[in-house]
A and B are shown apart, each in its own frame.
Chain A
Amino acid sequence: MAEEAPEDGAARTLPSLRRLSQALPFGRSHGHLGTSGRLIVPALCSQEKADPQETAFLLRKAWTLYSVTPLYGFRRARLRDYARLLGAFIAAEKHKGLAVEVGVELDIKVALSSLADIRGSELDQAALLVQLSSRSRGSSRNSEDKPMWWGWFCSMFGDELSENVPEHFTCLPLFLSHGAESYTALVGSWFQKTFDCCFRRLAISPLNLSWMVAMWAGCKLDRAASAVELVFSVPRLAQPLDISYAIHPEDAKALWDTVQKTPGEITQEEVDVFMDCLYAHFHRHFKIHLSAAKLVKISTAIASAHCDGIVKILHSQYLPGVLMLLTELAISQIQ
């Protein structure tokens, strides 16, 4: 049965993952879109399931995506030092020209910590969380600091990058941030300066958005799922025109099940067929060729993604799967 596909994929430990072709023409071996497939839910190297409490805050937030080149000279044992330095750096940047002593209490509290459960293969580093909170000025000691910005680095099956990198380099190619962009800029600059890395916004191409919608529309969910929605934007119009195309999740899944042939793995061909069916259906009703418009946003019960590189993950079970795909996209932007 095709319905078993996702579970099947989750239970198996596959020796290696074939991945999307990279932009690099040669020099490294790459698969091709047409021939390689993707897994929907990967098998994590730590068999025990991630603690849902610990990762709950990652869900239902709009994360802005960045790719990050490997960090040079990063050492996890020094997270506390890094937090002090980053805190002082932020303070110094906010009051340009004013020297700040490292280590004193500042308005903004910086915390760096590892998210041990967020990693895929043996080669992956545990995710790294940066959290900024404003210190409460109130007299009461128990009043909690108010969190105001989150950012985390992660690598989910980023083997292709990490296996080729010498020591002293730490591969956490995907960075996700939530909060004011000015803080993203400060934190990002500090990491760039300190670990000689480069941040780049990670946009998602329409092709990859169609992958996402196909992958996630077919996922089985326990609870009642929300609609699958695709937003298209029509280019070259005086007035911006967006077309929203919503599909009942069960219909989308039924369609996908008829399309998918190889259980647990998805191919480009299947994705194309799935999208073509949706386009044909739309054309039958509205006489509009959606394939001529640009796919800008997709939402499913698993996650939603915008072409500008903004992602919201909704379901903890599929967190690794989503991150794996995003890691792959980040790595292809780095290489």
Chain B
Amino acid sequence: MTTLLDTLFNGLALGTVYALVALGFVIIFKASGVMNFAHGSLLLLGGYLTAVLHDDLGFAGALAVSVLATAAVAGVMDRFLLQAGGPDPHGAHVQTIVTIGVDILILTDLSRRIGGDLLSLGDPWGDSVSGLGPVTVADSRIAAIVVSGMVIAGVFALFRYTSWGLSLRAAAEDVEAASLMGVRLVRIRMLAWCLAGALAALAAVFLAAFPAPGLERTTGQIALKAFPAAILGGMASPPGALAGSLLIGMTEALVAGYQSDLHVLGEGFGDVAPYAVMVLVLLVRPTGLFGGKAAVRV
């Protein structure tokens, strides 16, 4: 029973953090039709900046700078690299390939800087734990759930209530009609990339915090787990990304928690589990949990 509660809690914590990353994927895809393969590198960049700055600026200051800087890098990348030629409704595929190139560039440089080190992000929770009823949980995971939950709610509110959110949803439905209404396509889209970058930088903190050993050069690959989460949610649906992330997080926690019972599946099934879930969901619902027509944005 304790194992189950423990596992569910871990799954929730992982799921909400994956949701930060998956939401980034979805926001970018919705705004530009681009699959951002550089998302893992942006996440690593955010984490790296927090790690090197926290000695001088303190954790909060370092995090703030890192979130803003990562947002700026994502925005600049979109505005001056992908959108350099102005609005082009048919350029998404080429731009997707460009993100692979950007990913290699950022990742190579950060790998060189980080090397084999394990960087501490200087988060205030350290390895402290709290008793939550019958289970003992890491404070960092409580923080992950609370902060991610609040940020996700904020993002949903942005989508729903602000003119930026309305512009983005309108442009995702029909670029030309939105343009005729006077939506500034280039700017709206760039802001979407900035938001996705900011979310990735924040996610890096919780992915590197206890019980993870710290930030490594491979931390960015965790974005790969959010990728199936975004896809099984429907790729263009923010609620779908949240649901998908929670599902992936729970799966991972359950597989880890009951590893000894899953011996038949071999060692390291936890790494494969997100993809197994994705394939199973897509077999039943090819457009994803919340996907429909919107998922085939052209």
A and B interact: no
